[in-house]
Structure 1
């Protein structure tokens, strides 16, 4: 049975989708923009946007009863891969900070991201 995950600690969906679905053994998030769930704003730098998107993902999977260490796959959508090194540094620090293994990852440059963000991140987490 599919359960919808919804938390106020991450931004609400801005369209006809949910923050995440819990399939029992898997939690799959929608892409998370770097939007602050309280102010509705997002930072300008790729480093700060990366951290905000990862914090939003973390809030959603924690609502499902999981942690960063349960993340097994990420997909990172970036507006400009020239900023990859800066994004990658923040990404690495995030997983190290949570003492989590690095998940499998895809990173794709796209022409445009909603709200003209620089980054959007989605994850798959597994109940172990």
Structure 2
């Protein structure tokens, strides 16, 4: 049965949804923008910094539920300007091991929540707990 959770450090979603949904195999993380993060407006307009802020928060959210950004299998990225793709890619790539990038879709969306320029959604494989050595 899925487990629906909200990150206690973020505002409760203004939409009918949860920040995180966990099942036996995956963590599904709702799209996140810097407008969702307190203080994020300070970096709005710099696509690299927006991406770093969002990715750092996503990593913390995953840690909160015992997962890791390194186990991301799929990402959806929405940009308000695809001409900024190289700058977003440079920041995004910092969060993954070289050549171990998740499958990804990147689209241009004319308007994102709160005036943000990037929104990122993740699907992350949950790590299996090591079997008890007493078994």
Provide structure 1 residue ranges, at least 5 long, that are not aligned to the other structure.
none
> C-alpha separation between the residues in 2 aligned to 1:12 and 1:100?
35
Q: Partners in 2 of 1:22 and 1:100 — Cα distance? A: 26
- Rate the CA distance shift 1:37–1:113 in 2: closer, same or farther, 3 A: closer
Contact 1:75 1:107 in 2 (8 A): yes
Q: CA RMSD in A?
A: 2.0
**CA 1:59–1:105 in structure 2 vs 1: closer, same or farther (change >3 Å)?**
same
Q: Secondary structure at the match of 2:53?
A: helix
Deviation at 1:101, TM superposition (A): 2.2
CA distance in 2, matches of 1:46, 1:71: 21
1:43-58 alignment, distance < 5 Å: 43-44=43-44, 45-58=46-59
SS at match of 2:41: coil
Return the offset for 1:77. Answer: 0.3
Tell me whether 1:88 sits opposite 2:89 in the alignment.
yes
Partner of residue 14, structure 1: 14
Which residue pairs with 2:30 in the alignment?
A: 30
Indicate how the Cα distance of structure 1 residues 37 and 100 shifts in structure 2: closer, same or farther if over 3 A, else same.
farther
* Structure 2: runs of 5 or more not aligned: 128-135
Is the CA contact (8 Å cut-off) linking 2:67 and 2:126 kept in structure 1? yes
User: In the superposition, relative to structure 1, how do residues 42 and 91 fare at CA in structure 2: closer, same or farther (>3 Å)?
Assistant: same
Answer yes or no: is 1:115 the counterpart of 2:106. Answer: no
Q: Look at both structures and tell me which one has the larger radius of gyration over its CA atoms.
A: 2
Using the TM superposition, name which of 29-38 and 71-80 deviates more. Answer: 29-38
- CA shift, 1:66, in A, is 0.6
Residues 74 and 103 in structure 1, CA contact (< 8 A), matched pair in contact too? yes
Q: How many corresponding residue pairs?
A: 126
